[in-house]
Structure 1
């Protein structure tokens, strides 16, 4: 008889009766790696399935994730990290310097440095921006009684899909050399507005209007915060 290495409960079968951990872990080899890749890409509950469901019916699927079944969709944090990495990889591979937002500043200030970082790291910047969008979404949809963390889960999925949209356009621009990243910004904005509005009772047109303003105000608040931080840092440095 042996004890579970995870929770130290006595094992009476191949799996721990307490935590479900296998009594003997499989050795990591080529077969194990292939199995893990297949698990991640699985069409019934992996990242490809998640992408398909978020394209077809994002609102209903995220609601199901929050209240019914959290095993079919990829974990939201993992999803946004993976999709951000996909976009960053595409952007760096094709050397897309302008991206889908341009910021010009003749003076080398802290604010310009912040926005240069944003232009070069859209994946991470969108995650930060999601916090601001979540706050406005919470305000506009407060009658639905969702907490800020549940809204952040919604935005992880939605912004993650936005990253994939930008990735597709990045590949198109990289291969054709047509400047299409501004179009990507519009498509991503339309998808985000539609997905958020659909999440909150898709039959109500007003919800799409609220989603529109939540997204716009989230972006504006994010930009203003970056500018204020830049100004404060410059004032501190000068004194």
Structure 2
């Protein structure tokens, strides 16, 4: 039996809902295409546009590569590395790490879910809302780039860092945050200067709680 016109109207989706569904299916197709394509393991952050509303500013290739190499060296054999809000470093790590090294990306931007189980959705506003597979004090190195230059963001991100880290911490942020970084995490400024693909108004610095192998010219 055919339904009435009134019933048909009740089953119709709104234009907004249809648009949302279309966006979901498009993103799903893109993820599946990347996963099945020959370049999945080389998925380039450069292929993802920076979203300034998410305070995203990609590192230059040289900086991302230098930080990735430092992370591998610092984590050691069978190392575990957590990249928190630093997808450009994670992408470089993907092309460098051996099978005995474990790397996770904690990131708010769900576009990076193409990395499968290595991607962990992360919102600094809920610093300890983490999956069980990220065990407390289980990472040899936690490499971090807090998304915002604010005390609130740093303090909340620090909760994540202190939960994950069993030792070494490497953090990149604005030079204006130096006093707070020292106060909250006990990190010291390094000579290495991170650079970005785009010029930023704020000078960026690198901080660590160990002697990193990078110099200012790396």
| TM-score band w.r.t. shorter chain | under 0.3
Query: Which structure's residues are more often helix, by fraction?
Result: 1
Q: Give the TM-score, by structure 1 length.
A: 0.25
* TM-score normalised per structure 2: 0.26
Which structure has more RCO (C-alpha within 8 Å, separation ≥ 6)?
1
- Which is richer in strand? 2
Is the radius of gyration larger for structure 1 or structure 2?
Answer: 1
